[in-house]
Amino acid sequence: MNRKHADGGTLLVTVFVFPGVRLLDVTGPIEVFTSANEFGGRYRLTIVSADGDEVRTAAGTRLGVDAAVADAHGTSDVLVIPGGPDWDRMIRDEALLGAVRTLDARARRTVSVCTGAFLLAAAGLLEGRRAATHWRHSLRLAQLFPGVRVEHDAIFVRDGKVTTSAGVSAGIDLSLAVVEEHSGAEVARAVAKDLVVFMQRPGGQSQFSVRARAPHTRQEALRRVLDAIAEAPGTDHTLAAMARRAGISARHITRLFRDELGTTPARYVEQIRLEAAQAMLETGDDPMTAIARRTGFGSPESLRRAFVRNLQVTPGAFRARFRSTGSGGPDTVHVR
């Protein structure tokens, strides 16, 4: 895109704030755009509230503003609509929704962070569009606004002029993608390195580690097995090996996996190994043969099949995504 304006070549980013807004939803995008200015970006930021008064965030921090919505003149290149934990109150506030509609009408592009999607939906700006929000609230968004096609695992989704993103820190992912579109991948990459964040996040909202999201178990034998798998994914984790490690029968270990984790031993091991392979692809340039061997897949072909079956992407394509935010790819970004 690389669009520049005649007025000094800057792009105007307008951030809308309101009482109870989540602080990181606001500061995350601001940090990305202001950091971009250090590496060749040309952004001018303005913070507005409905009445021009400062607001108190959900964290209790006061935020100053530059103008009221009515006094904010000019067309925004990017309008940022953050969210807040009290979203159910926000969507019933007609003054708030009116301010969002006014700002959107004066914006070339509107983006939301986390539950900011609820504000856009309640304002009628997501009707017939695809959208994303925090994984914990995505089902509720779909229920309350059936005209919105919710992408439950997406980090961010672009549909026309509107882009919605997932929970809290996903606003950083989205802002990096916007910077890449405006100023190129090198600027976005420099910002990501400066902020010590991923250029493109490894995973959709279901990315949280397999071990971390597994239910806590009081079964000591099973805990020993799970810890052994996590510590050394590439070693022998056949059913017989796990049973020996736990000191119980293969039938019993299978039943524990089913009852405690809701999966099979083989499926669990594959997920842990897949996670380990993702980490190696994200952080290094090891050949596929070494990655397959060290993570227990054995061969590059077995590694490839596991990636395609679980993530719908090859290991090579997964690694390539860390060279870009993915802004030039599909409008729905799962970034797995």
Whole-angstrom distance, CA of residue 199 vs CA of residue 168: 16
Question: CB of 254 within 8 A of CB of 221?
Answer: no
Judge if 55 and 129 occupy the same domain. yes
The amino acid at 97: L
Q: Say what the pLDDT of residue 332 is.
A: 54
Asked whether residue 154 is domain-assigned, the answer is yes
174 plus 229 within the same structural domain: no
CB 102 within 8 A of CB 130: no
Shared domain check, 266 and 185: no
255-264 pLDDT per residue, tens: 999 988 888 9
* Domain presence at residue 276: yes
Q: How far apart are CA 283 and CA 2, in angstroms?
A: 29
pLDDT for the residue 206: 44
Q: How far apart are CA 177 and CA 332, in angstroms?
A: 12
Q: Could you report how far apart the first and last alpha carbons of the chain are, in Å? A: 25
Question: Is the same domain home to 85 and 175?
Answer: yes
Q: Let me know if residue 48 belongs to a domain.
A: yes
User: In DSSP terms, which residues pair with 158 in a beta bridge?
Assistant: 163
Residue 19 in tokens:
């009482």
The alpha-helical segments, DSSP class H, found in 91-216 are 94-105, 116-122, 138-144, 170-183, 185-195, 210-213
- Which residues have a catalytic role annotated? 114
If asked whether residues 31 and 106 sit together in one domain, one would say yes
Structural domain for 33, as ranges: 11-197
Same domain (yes/no): 185, 282: no
Q: How many domains does the chain have?
A: 2
Does 187 reside within a domain? Answer: yes
Q: From first to last of its 336 residues, what are the pLDDT tens digits of the chain? A: 444 433 448 999 999 999 999 999 999 999 999 999 999 999 999 999 999 999 999 999 999 999 999 998 889 999 999 999 999 999 999 999 999 999 999 999 999 999 999 999 999 999 999 999 987 788 889 999 999 998 876 778 899 999 999 876 788 888 988 998 898 888 988 888 888 775 555 445 444 445 545 566 778 889 889 888 887 889 999 999 999 999 999 999 999 999 888 889 999 999 999 988 987 887 677 899 999 999 999 999 999 999 999 888 899 988 887 555 555 555 555 433
For 304, residues 6+ apart whose C-beta sits below 8 A from its C-beta are: 288, 314, 315
The two tokens of residue 316 are 């090579």
Q: Could you tell me the sign of the dihedral formed by the alpha carbons of 267, 272, 274, 275, in that order?
A: positive
Q: Tens of pLDDT along 89-115?
A: 999 999 999 999 999 999 999 999 999
pLDDT of residue 62: 96
CATH of the domain at 283: 1.10.10.60
Can you give the pLDDT at residue 211? 53
pLDDT given at position 81: 97
Residue 238 neighbours by CB distance under 10 Å: 12
On whether both 41 and 163 belong to a single domain, the answer is yes
Please check whether residue 14 is in contact with residue 103, taking contact to mean a CB–CB distance below 8 angstroms. yes
Give the residues across from 211 on adjacent strands: none
Residues 132 and 28 placed together within one structural domain of the fold: yes
- The total number of residues written for the chain in this structure: 336
81: region left, alpha or beta (phi > 0 left; psi from -120 to 50 alpha): beta
Supply the CATH number for residue 162's domain.
3.40.50.880
- 110 and 259 in a common domain: no
33 shares its domain with 118 = yes
Closest CA to 241 of 304, 296, 306: 296
pLDDT for the residue numbered 335: 38
The Cα 336–Cα 201 span in angstroms is 8
**Predicted local distance difference test score (pLDDT) of residue 280:** 83
The answer to whether residue 202 is domain-embedded is no
